[in-house]
């Protein structure tokens, strides 16, 4: 297996999760139950997931210059993430995300960027040597789009494969500059919003429409149904894994991180997606974000049990 680092350019925050019987609508108050402050956000959680799967993870981002920022850095380092290129930002609040975790439905997550909104192209340039030594770079949409686009440019300059997780997706969609990636990873809701088509009814049509925006390959995350892959290698539906679902908060992050790991090993997309499906399924079996990320042995065990 490769020893090249996987670079993640992304967000870092503290998630504040409340258990609730259901997601409220309109002018309604719902009594919550358990509360927890949990290190999370997509960039940080994907970095932890990569490290748990045994690959070197280098995270580029920012935290607030406060006790929360210190706690986030401590947690990342404890999980084996290289934090060399994470900057503490005086005067900026740390990123946060409010998570409503219902008993029998998908989570509702509302992030507040804080220091994540201060990640600049210059931060990417400062870490260019780390990017140059990588094979794969993971990107998300919780830092400024200008910085994401610049990171894509730097990666392409050094022949590094880029994977963009299209979350959180703004209502007005994405600029074309962000579609210039090797792999675009979207869930059903995001893909439907980007194309105006139903990913549940016609994943092939949705993936084909997304590929016309400029990305080389498209991966549609279909929850319990697995994923759909559309690429020059071919297209196919890759089934998911049946597990007892406890919390779906970070299933998508586990999936995308595992996809990056498998690509770092040189696997073809369809093979990589099955590995990613297993990681995403395992993340659903326990609560939390970073704490729910599976280890390599756990993923291998699940795969071995369902050939």
Residues 258 and 241: their CA atoms lie apart, in Å, by 15
214-217-221 Cα angle (round to 5):
115
Residue 253 among the catalytic residues: yes
Q: How far apart are CA 158 and CA 173, in angstroms?
A: 28
- The residues annotated as belonging to the active site are 253
């Amino acid at each position: 297996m490769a020893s090249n680092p996987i670079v993640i350019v992304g967000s870092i925050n503290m998630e504040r999760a409340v258990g609730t019987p259901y997601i409220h609508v309109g002018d309604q108050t719902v009594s919550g139950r358990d509360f927890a402050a949990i290190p999370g956000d997509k960039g940080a959680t994907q970095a932890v997931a990569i490290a748990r799967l045994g690959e070197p993870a280098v995270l580029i981002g920012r935290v607030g210059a406060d006790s929360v920022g210190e706690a986030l850095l401590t947690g990342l380092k404890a999980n084996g993430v290289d934090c060399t290129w994470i900057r503490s930002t005086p005067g900026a609040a740390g990123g946060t995300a409010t998570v409503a975790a219902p008993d029998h439905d998908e989570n509702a997550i509302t992030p507040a960027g804080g220091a994540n909104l201060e990640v600049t192209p210059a931060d990417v340039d400062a870490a260019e040597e780390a990017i140059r030594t990588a094979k794969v770079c993971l990107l998300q949409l919780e830092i400024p789009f200008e910085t994401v686009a610049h990171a894509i440019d730097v990666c392409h300059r050094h022949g590094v494969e880029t994977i963009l997780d299209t979350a959180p997706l703004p209502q007005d969609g994405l600029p074309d500059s962000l579609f210039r990636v090797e792999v675009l990873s979207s869930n059903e809701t995001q893909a439907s919003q980007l194309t105006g088509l139903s990913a549940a009814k016609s994943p092939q049509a949705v993936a084909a429409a997304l590929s016309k925006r400029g990305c080389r390959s498209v991966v549609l995350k279909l929850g319990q149904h697995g994923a759909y892959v559309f690429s020059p290698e071919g297209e196919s539906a890759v089934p998911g894994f049946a597990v007892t679902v406890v919390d779906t908060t970070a299933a998508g992050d586990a999936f995308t991180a595992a996809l990056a790991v498998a690509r770092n090993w040189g696997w073809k997309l369809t093979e990589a997606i099955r590995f990613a499906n297993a990681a995403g399924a395992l993340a659903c079996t326990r609560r939390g974000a970073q704490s729910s990320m599976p280890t390599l042995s756990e993923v291998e065990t699940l795969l071995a049990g369902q050939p």
